[in-house]
């Protein structure tokens, strides 16, 4: 799972500048063994969200071992030296708690939601599997089959997913963001116990982890509980370095076409590799956030207005920016469903015309104001949920931002200038972008399906 973007902050109506008031008093401390501890007060109810984030994900999979981060996430439920597989899950279920885990490119997260009085219990179990994981060859083999089945279901049998993989591979030709989080099938098949243990020992250390607790718990008490549960885990030195292969500069337009009789809904997607929060200049990532809203969030967005309502060559169109949950580069993506009689390629061409016109005209000032307001409000509404709030903090912390930078997000969005927006728009140059076309016909095919190697 990859979380969507958005921040938590006080209601901008009460704090219009977005920077003056401290708003939410999120506090961070650190244990002696390096574990970062973040407490987010939320006194609205008796529930607490407990999350451990590791600063590693699929982008840290070694070459030839794609999928190991996600595979290990599965294996973290296979029991420890202290507790058999399934025990923690049963305990949580008996308490009416919930749990989940997800792997993204730059982080892996384990979380539980429980009645507040059971926070210490979650910590005890999570600390246990941070150091005591037990992996048998049988557990690894059977879980590998589970992951392969998952890949079969969500990727291999879905032409749209296969197109997304091919587009990402084109957009990130060398960087591991070009490999799927779940891994390539032929590499998942080769993953074994030794791979999982090596990855576990390298990354599952306190100095590589962030504990995020949201709920009705005093920060000092959260720290003390964390010290009791996690403090005994030995320090493992500095967090492992994130050394990823970087992409060369791109000078060519890439177009990817996948045609399959199973496609029920043709579509197009345009992807540009752009800076992230971690790599952009100050304000640059925020400009891409606003740009994505202006282009493709909701019925007042430029692309919807001109292509769905105006030309009627699309039935749906949207834009997104992934800079808040990708550390080293991000995607600005535009995706659309062509109207009947329009090909995905023709819709892509229409998108290009809109982008070209915008490069000349810029955006209307009132549209920019409205987009910023929409972005901030949508983020606020989404972060009204305790777990979404905790997830927002965990994601950005895992992507290298500090609490101050996260707290200043609203004011930085407000500060995005028309010039910054135009600069962001100009980077969406099709000569360096990737277009993907999902077709339901055999137009691109000359041979029977069986001939595909």
Q: Which is nearer to a second copy, 143 or 165 (CB)?
A: 165
User: How big is the chain, counted in residues?
Assistant: 453
Nearer to a second copy, 90 or 353 (CB): 353
Per CB under 8 A, 243 contacts a second copy: yes
Residue 427 structure tokens: 């980077």
Alpha carbons 231 and 393: distance in angstroms, whole number? 22
- Single residue of 279, 300, 343, 432 touching a second copy by CB under 8 A: 432
Tell me 198's DSSP state. Answer: H
> What six digits make up the tokens of 433?
């972008």
* Contacting residue, 13, 14, 43, 249, with a second copy by CB under 8 A: 249
Q: Which parts of 387-426 interact with a second copy (CB under 8 A)?
A: 426
**257 touches a second copy by CB under 8 A:** yes
| Nearest-angstrom CA–CA distance, 19 and 414 | 10
Torsion 107-108-113-114 (CA) sign: negative
- Determine which residue in the list 255, 370, 373, 374 makes contact with a second copy, applying CB under 8 A: 255
Binding flag, residue 265, a second copy (CB under 8 A):
no
Nearest-approach distance from CB 350 to a second copy, in angstroms: 14
The verdict on 170 binding a second copy (CB under 8 A) reads: yes
- Dig out the tokens for 207 from the structure: 């100095």
Choice among 73, 165, 187, 328 that is catalytic: 73
- Least gap, CB of 183 to a second copy (angstroms): 10
Q: Which residue has the tokens 């609203």?
A: 410
The yes or no reply on residue 264 touching a second copy (CB under 8 A) is no
Taking the C-alpha atoms of 301, 169, 340 and 348 in order, what is their torsion angle to the nearest 10 degrees?
Answer: 50
Judged by CB under 8 A, the residue of 179, 223, 297, 304 near a second copy is: 179
Contact 424, 291 (CB under 8 A): yes
Q: What angle do helix axes 365-382 and 386-398 make, rounded to 10 degrees?
A: 110
CB 115 within 8 A of CB 47: yes
Residue from 136, 142, 157, 253 in contact with a second copy (CB under 8 A): 253
158 contacts a second copy (rule: CB under 8 A): no
Of the two residues 89 and 432, which places its CB atom closer to a second copy in the complex? 432
Please, what is the end-to-end C-alpha distance for the chain in angstroms?
30
Find out whether 403 and 238 touch, Cβ atoms under 8 Å. Answer: no
Q: Is 352 a catalytic residue?
A: no
**Per CB under 8 A, 89 contacts a second copy:** no
Q: Which of 101, 134, 166, 403 binds a second copy (CB under 8 A)?
A: 166
Residue of 254, 304, 325, 383 interacting with a second copy (CB under 8 A): 254
Rule CB under 8 A: is residue 145 a binding residue for a second copy? Answer: no
Looking at beta carbons only, is 182 or 236 nearer to a second copy?
182
Strand partners, 271: 333, 434
Residue ranges of alpha helices (H) inside 204-250 are 219-230
Q: Which of 258, 271, 308, 330 binds a second copy (CB under 8 A)?
A: 258
How many residues of this chain interact with a second copy, rule: CB under 8 A?
A: 51
Round to whole Å and give the CA distance between 273 and 447: 33
Site string for a second copy, 349-388 (x = CB under 8 A): ---x--xx--x-----------------------------
Q: Does 181 bind a second copy (CB under 8 A)?
A: no
Residue 116 interacting with a second copy (CB under 8 A): no
Q: Which of residues 54-73 bind a second copy (CB under 8 A)?
A: 63-64
- The Cα–Cα gap between 29 and 14 comes to 29
The token pair that represents 359 in the structure block: 């490069």
- Specify whether the CB–CB gap between 10 and 24 falls below 8 A: yes
In angstroms, the CA 355 to CA 428 distance is 8
- Of 170 and 229, nearer to a second copy (C-beta) is 170
CA distance 192 to 196: 6
**Residue 43 binds to a second copy (criterion: CB under 8 A):** no
270 binding a second copy? (CB under 8 A): no
| 279, 331 contact by CB (below 8 A) | no
d(CA 321, CA 5): 8
Q: Which is nearer to a second copy, 33 or 257 (CB)?
A: 257
Q: Which residues bind a second copy (CB under 8 A)?
A: 63-64, 159, 162-163, 165-166, 169-170, 173-174, 178-179, 184-187, 243, 245-246, 248-260, 352, 355-356, 359, 426-427, 429-432, 436, 444-447, 451-453
Residues with a known catalytic role: 73
């Amino acid at each position: 799972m990859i979380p969507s973007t958005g921040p938590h902050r006080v209601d901008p109506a009460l704090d219009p500048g977005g920077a003056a008031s401290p708003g939410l008093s999120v506090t961070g401390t650190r244990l002696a063994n390096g574990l970062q501890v973040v407490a987010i007060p939320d006194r609205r109810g008796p529930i607490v969200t407990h999350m451990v984030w590791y600063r590693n994900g699929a982008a840290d999979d070694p070459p030839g071992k794609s999928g190991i981060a996600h595979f290990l996430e599965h294996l973290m439920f296979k029991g420890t030296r202290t507790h058999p597989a399934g025990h923690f899950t049963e305990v949580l279920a008996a308490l009416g708690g919930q749990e989940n885990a997800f792997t993204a490119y730059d982080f892996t997260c384990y979380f539980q939601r429980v009645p507040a009085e059971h926070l210490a219990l979650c910590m005890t179990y999570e600390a246990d599997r941070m150091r005591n994981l037990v992996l048998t060859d049988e557990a690894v083999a059977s879980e590998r089959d589970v992951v392969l089945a998952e890949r079969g279901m969500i990727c291999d049998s879905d032409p749209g997913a296969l197109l997304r993989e091919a587009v990402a591979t084109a957009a990130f030709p060398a960087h591991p963001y070009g490999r799927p989080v779940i891994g390539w099938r032929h590499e998942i098949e080769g993953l074994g116990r030794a791979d999982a243990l090596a990855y576990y020992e390298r990354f599952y250390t306190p100095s590589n982890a962030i504990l995020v607790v949201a709920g009705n718990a005093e920060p000092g008490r959260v720290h003390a509980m964390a010290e009791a549960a996690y403090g005994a885990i030995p320090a493992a030195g500095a967090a492992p370095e994130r050394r990823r292969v970087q992409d060369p500069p791109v000078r060519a337009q890439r177009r990817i076409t996948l045609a399959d009789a199973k496609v029920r809904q043709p579509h197009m997607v345009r992807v540009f590799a752009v800076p992230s929060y971690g790599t952009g200049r100050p304000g640059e990532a925020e400009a891409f956030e606003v740009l994505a809203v202006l282009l493709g969030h909701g019925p007042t967005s430029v692309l919807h207005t001109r292509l769905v309502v105006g030309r009627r060559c699309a039935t749906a169109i949207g834009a997104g920016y992934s800079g808040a949950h990708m550390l080293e580069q991000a995607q600005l993506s535009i995706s659309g469903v062509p109207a009947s009689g329009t090909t995905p390629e023709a819709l892509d061409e229409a998108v290009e015309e809109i982008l070209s016109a915008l490069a000349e005209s810029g955006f209307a000032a009132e549209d920019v104001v409205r987009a910023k307001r929409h972005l901030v409000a949508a983020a606020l509404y989404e972060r009204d949920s305790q777990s979404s709030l905790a997830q927002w903090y965990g994601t950005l912390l895992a992507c290298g931002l500090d609490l101050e930078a996260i707290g200043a997000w609203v004011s930085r969005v407000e500060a995005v200038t028309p010039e910054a927006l135009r600069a962001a728009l100009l980077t969406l140059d099709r000569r360096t972008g990737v277009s993907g076309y999902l077709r339901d016909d055999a137009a691109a095919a000359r041979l029977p399906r069986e001939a595909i190697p």
